[in-house]
Amino acid sequence: MYDIVIIGSGPAGLSSAIYAQRAGLKAVVVEKNYLGTGQISESERVDNYPGLYGENGFDLGEKFRSHAESLGTEFIEGEAVKISKNTTDYSVELDNGNSLETHTVIYAVGTERRKLQVEGEKEFSGRGVSYCAVCDAAFGYFVCCLIIRLPPRSSPLYSSAVSDVYKRQAYNDYVEY
Ligand SMILES: Cc1cc2nc3c(=O)[nH]c(=O)nc-3n(C[C@H](O)[C@H](O)[C@H](O)COP(=O)(O)OP(=O)(O)OC[C@H]3O[C@@H](n4cnc5c(N)ncnc54)[C@H](O)[C@@H]3O)c2cc1C
Protein backbone atom coordinates (compact mmCIF):
# COMPACT_ATOMS: atom_id res chain seq x y z
CA MET A 1 0.00 0.00 0.00
CA TYR A 2 1.39 3.37 -1.07
CA ASP A 3 0.56 6.73 0.44
CA ILE A 4 0.64 8.33 -3.01
CA VAL A 5 0.69 7.02 -6.56
CA ILE A 6 1.81 9.80 -8.88
CA ILE A 7 0.88 9.29 -12.53
CA GLY A 8 3.30 11.15 -14.80
CA SER A 9 6.93 12.01 -14.25
CA GLY A 10 7.07 15.51 -15.69
CA PRO A 11 7.99 18.51 -13.56
CA ALA A 12 4.58 18.39 -11.83
CA GLY A 13 4.81 14.69 -10.96
CA LEU A 14 8.39 14.93 -9.79
CA SER A 15 7.72 18.04 -7.69
CA SER A 16 4.89 16.10 -6.07
CA ALA A 17 7.25 13.17 -5.46
CA ILE A 18 9.85 15.41 -3.83
CA TYR A 19 7.28 16.99 -1.52
CA ALA A 20 5.81 13.57 -0.67
CA GLN A 21 9.16 12.02 0.19
CA ARG A 22 10.20 15.01 2.26
CA ALA A 23 6.95 14.66 4.20
CA GLY A 24 7.84 11.05 4.97
CA LEU A 25 5.20 9.57 2.66
CA LYS A 26 5.69 6.47 0.54
CA ALA A 27 5.36 7.58 -3.09
CA VAL A 28 5.68 5.84 -6.43
CA VAL A 29 5.81 7.53 -9.83
CA VAL A 30 4.29 5.75 -12.84
CA GLU A 31 5.52 6.90 -16.24
CA LYS A 32 4.57 5.52 -19.63
CA ASN A 33 6.88 7.37 -21.93
CA TYR A 34 9.60 9.78 -20.98
CA LEU A 35 11.28 7.64 -18.35
CA GLY A 36 11.37 10.23 -15.70
CA THR A 37 11.50 13.70 -17.08
CA GLY A 38 8.31 14.56 -18.95
CA GLN A 39 8.07 16.93 -21.88
CA ILE A 40 10.80 19.23 -20.65
CA SER A 41 13.30 16.66 -21.90
CA GLU A 42 12.38 17.79 -25.44
CA SER A 43 13.44 21.37 -24.84
CA GLU A 44 16.85 22.23 -26.18
CA ARG A 45 17.22 25.12 -23.77
CA VAL A 46 15.33 26.34 -20.71
CA ASP A 47 15.81 30.00 -19.84
CA ASN A 48 12.67 31.06 -18.06
CA TYR A 49 13.35 29.69 -14.59
CA PRO A 50 15.24 31.77 -12.01
CA GLY A 51 18.70 30.40 -11.39
CA LEU A 52 18.87 28.54 -14.70
CA TYR A 53 20.26 29.97 -17.86
CA GLY A 54 20.67 27.97 -21.02
CA GLU A 55 20.06 24.65 -19.29
CA ASN A 56 19.32 21.78 -21.63
CA GLY A 57 15.81 20.40 -21.00
CA PHE A 58 16.93 16.79 -20.96
CA ASP A 59 19.64 17.49 -18.38
CA LEU A 60 17.21 19.50 -16.28
CA GLY A 61 14.68 16.66 -16.36
CA GLU A 62 17.38 14.22 -15.31
CA LYS A 63 18.14 16.47 -12.34
CA PHE A 64 14.46 16.49 -11.38
CA ARG A 65 14.45 12.73 -11.53
CA SER A 66 17.64 12.18 -9.58
CA HIS A 67 16.46 14.65 -6.95
CA ALA A 68 13.27 12.62 -6.48
CA GLU A 69 15.21 9.34 -6.57
CA SER A 70 17.75 10.51 -4.02
CA LEU A 71 14.90 11.07 -1.58
CA GLY A 72 13.71 7.50 -2.10
CA THR A 73 10.98 7.84 -4.73
CA GLU A 74 10.17 4.61 -6.51
CA PHE A 75 9.62 4.64 -10.29
CA ILE A 76 7.56 2.24 -12.37
CA GLU A 77 7.62 2.23 -16.15
CA GLY A 78 4.14 1.66 -17.52
CA GLU A 79 0.85 3.29 -18.41
CA ALA A 80 -1.88 3.82 -15.86
CA VAL A 81 -5.02 2.63 -17.62
CA LYS A 82 -7.64 2.68 -14.88
CA ILE A 83 -8.21 4.25 -11.47
CA SER A 84 -10.90 2.80 -9.24
CA LYS A 85 -12.00 3.75 -5.77
CA ASN A 86 -12.36 1.13 -3.08
CA THR A 87 -14.08 1.97 0.19
CA THR A 88 -11.43 4.41 1.34
CA ASP A 89 -8.49 3.88 -0.98
CA TYR A 90 -7.68 3.68 -4.68
CA SER A 91 -6.45 1.08 -7.08
CA VAL A 92 -4.39 2.15 -10.10
CA GLU A 93 -4.26 -0.43 -12.87
CA LEU A 94 -1.27 -0.54 -15.20
CA ASP A 95 -1.09 -1.73 -18.78
CA ASN A 96 0.97 -4.77 -17.75
CA GLY A 97 -1.94 -6.02 -15.65
CA ASN A 98 -0.46 -5.10 -12.26
CA SER A 99 -2.27 -2.74 -9.94
CA LEU A 100 -1.08 -0.40 -7.21
CA GLU A 101 -3.06 0.18 -4.03
CA THR A 102 -2.82 3.67 -2.60
CA HIS A 103 -4.40 6.15 -0.22
CA THR A 104 -4.06 9.00 -2.73
CA VAL A 105 -3.57 9.49 -6.46
CA ILE A 106 -1.90 12.51 -8.04
CA TYR A 107 -2.80 12.74 -11.70
CA ALA A 108 0.02 14.75 -13.30
CA VAL A 109 -0.19 13.61 -16.91
CA GLY A 110 0.48 16.97 -18.57
CA THR A 111 -0.95 17.79 -21.93
CA GLU A 112 -0.21 17.13 -25.55
CA ARG A 113 0.27 19.99 -27.95
CA ARG A 114 -1.84 20.16 -31.10
CA LYS A 115 0.56 19.59 -33.97
CA LEU A 116 0.58 21.38 -37.32
CA GLN A 117 1.58 18.20 -39.18
CA VAL A 118 4.02 20.09 -41.41
CA GLU A 119 7.41 19.04 -42.70
CA GLY A 120 10.23 19.74 -40.24
CA GLU A 121 7.89 20.22 -37.28
CA LYS A 122 9.05 17.15 -35.43
CA GLU A 123 12.69 17.58 -36.36
CA PHE A 124 12.86 21.19 -35.15
CA SER A 125 10.57 20.86 -32.14
CA GLY A 126 12.37 22.54 -29.25
CA ARG A 127 14.97 23.91 -31.66
CA GLY A 128 13.01 26.59 -33.44
CA VAL A 129 9.47 25.24 -33.44
CA SER A 130 7.76 26.36 -30.26
CA TYR A 131 4.33 25.74 -28.82
CA CYS A 132 4.77 27.97 -25.80
CA ALA A 133 5.25 31.71 -26.27
CA VAL A 134 6.45 32.37 -22.72
CA CYS A 135 8.79 29.34 -22.58
CA ASP A 136 11.09 29.17 -25.53
CA ALA A 137 9.55 31.42 -28.18
CA ALA A 138 11.77 34.28 -27.03
CA PHE A 139 14.91 32.68 -28.41
CA GLY A 140 16.28 35.00 -31.08
CA TYR A 141 16.57 32.51 -33.88
CA PHE A 142 12.91 32.46 -34.68
CA VAL A 143 11.17 35.22 -32.79
CA CYS A 144 8.62 37.13 -34.89
CA CYS A 145 9.42 35.12 -37.97
CA LEU A 146 6.72 35.05 -40.62
CA ILE A 147 7.17 32.56 -43.44
CA ILE A 148 5.49 33.75 -46.61
CA ARG A 149 5.46 32.92 -50.28
CA LEU A 150 6.40 36.01 -52.35
CA PRO A 151 5.68 36.53 -56.03
CA PRO A 152 8.75 36.20 -58.32
CA ARG A 153 11.13 39.18 -58.24
CA SER A 154 10.31 39.94 -61.88
CA SER A 155 6.61 40.30 -61.08
CA PRO A 156 5.13 43.77 -60.63
CA LEU A 157 3.48 42.42 -57.50
CA TYR A 158 6.84 41.70 -55.84
CA SER A 159 7.59 45.14 -54.42
CA SER A 160 4.07 45.74 -53.17
CA ALA A 161 4.08 42.33 -51.50
CA VAL A 162 7.38 43.13 -49.76
CA SER A 163 6.20 46.53 -48.63
CA ASP A 164 3.04 44.92 -47.30
CA VAL A 165 5.18 42.61 -45.21
CA TYR A 166 7.08 45.59 -43.77
CA LYS A 167 3.82 47.26 -42.90
CA ARG A 168 2.98 44.36 -40.63
CA GLN A 169 4.49 45.79 -37.50
CA ALA A 170 3.82 42.61 -35.58
CA TYR A 171 6.52 40.83 -37.56
CA ASN A 172 10.04 42.10 -37.89
CA ASP A 173 11.50 39.43 -40.07
CA TYR A 174 10.49 37.20 -42.93
CA VAL A 175 11.93 34.34 -44.85
CA GLU A 176 11.71 34.52 -48.59
CA TYR A 177 11.40 31.27 -50.45
C1 LIG B 1 9.74 21.15 -27.14
C2 LIG B 1 9.29 21.73 -25.81
C3 LIG B 1 10.00 22.80 -25.25
C4 LIG B 1 9.61 23.34 -24.03
N5 LIG B 1 10.35 24.34 -23.49
C6 LIG B 1 10.00 24.87 -22.31
C7 LIG B 1 10.80 25.89 -21.71
O8 LIG B 1 11.82 26.33 -22.25
N9 LIG B 1 10.39 26.39 -20.51
C10 LIG B 1 9.25 25.93 -19.88
O11 LIG B 1 8.91 26.41 -18.81
N12 LIG B 1 8.49 24.97 -20.43
C13 LIG B 1 8.84 24.43 -21.62
N14 LIG B 1 8.07 23.45 -22.17
C15 LIG B 1 6.84 23.08 -21.49
C16 LIG B 1 7.13 22.12 -20.34
O17 LIG B 1 7.86 21.01 -20.82
C18 LIG B 1 5.78 21.70 -19.76
O19 LIG B 1 5.08 22.85 -19.32
C20 LIG B 1 5.99 20.76 -18.60
O21 LIG B 1 6.72 19.63 -18.99
C22 LIG B 1 4.63 20.33 -18.03
O23 LIG B 1 4.92 19.49 -16.95
P24 LIG B 1 3.87 18.41 -16.44
O25 LIG B 1 4.53 17.67 -15.35
O26 LIG B 1 2.57 19.08 -16.16
O27 LIG B 1 3.57 17.47 -17.70
P28 LIG B 1 4.53 16.63 -18.66
O29 LIG B 1 5.92 17.14 -18.71
O30 LIG B 1 3.76 16.51 -19.94
O31 LIG B 1 4.59 15.20 -17.96
C32 LIG B 1 3.47 14.37 -17.94
C33 LIG B 1 3.98 12.95 -18.04
O34 LIG B 1 2.88 12.06 -17.80
C35 LIG B 1 3.07 10.92 -18.61
N36 LIG B 1 1.78 10.25 -18.73
C37 LIG B 1 0.67 10.70 -19.36
N38 LIG B 1 -0.35 9.83 -19.22
C39 LIG B 1 0.16 8.78 -18.50
C40 LIG B 1 -0.42 7.55 -18.05
N41 LIG B 1 -1.69 7.24 -18.28
N42 LIG B 1 0.37 6.69 -17.36
C43 LIG B 1 1.68 7.00 -17.10
N44 LIG B 1 2.26 8.16 -17.51
C45 LIG B 1 1.51 9.04 -18.19
C46 LIG B 1 3.62 11.48 -19.92
O47 LIG B 1 4.32 10.49 -20.65
C48 LIG B 1 4.54 12.60 -19.42
O49 LIG B 1 5.88 12.15 -19.27
C50 LIG B 1 8.45 22.85 -23.37
C51 LIG B 1 7.72 21.79 -23.93
C52 LIG B 1 8.14 21.22 -25.13
C53 LIG B 1 7.35 20.05 -25.70
Active-site amino acid positions: 132, 135-136
**Are 99 and 78 contacting, i.e. CB atoms less than 8 angstroms apart?**
no
Residue nearest (by alpha carbon) to ligand 1 atom 16: 40
Task: State whether the beta carbon of 36 lies less than 6 angstroms from ligand 1.
Answer: no
List, as own/partner pairs, every contact residues 85-92 make where C-beta atoms lie below 8 angstroms and the sequence separation is at least 24, other chains included: 89/1, 90/5, 92/5, 92/7, 92/30
Residues of the chain whose pLDDT is less than 70?
35-36, 134, 136-150, 161-177
Entry pTM: 0.79
Q: Which of 7, 42, 96, 109, when mutated, tests ligand 1's pocket best, judged by the most ligand atoms within 8 Å of its CB?
A: 109
* DSSP one-letter code for 17: H
**Residue-level pLDDT at 169:** 44
Q: Is the dihedral of CA 56, 59, 62, 66 positive or negative?
A: negative
In this structure, which amino acid lies at residue 36? G
In this structure, which amino acid lies at residue 98? N
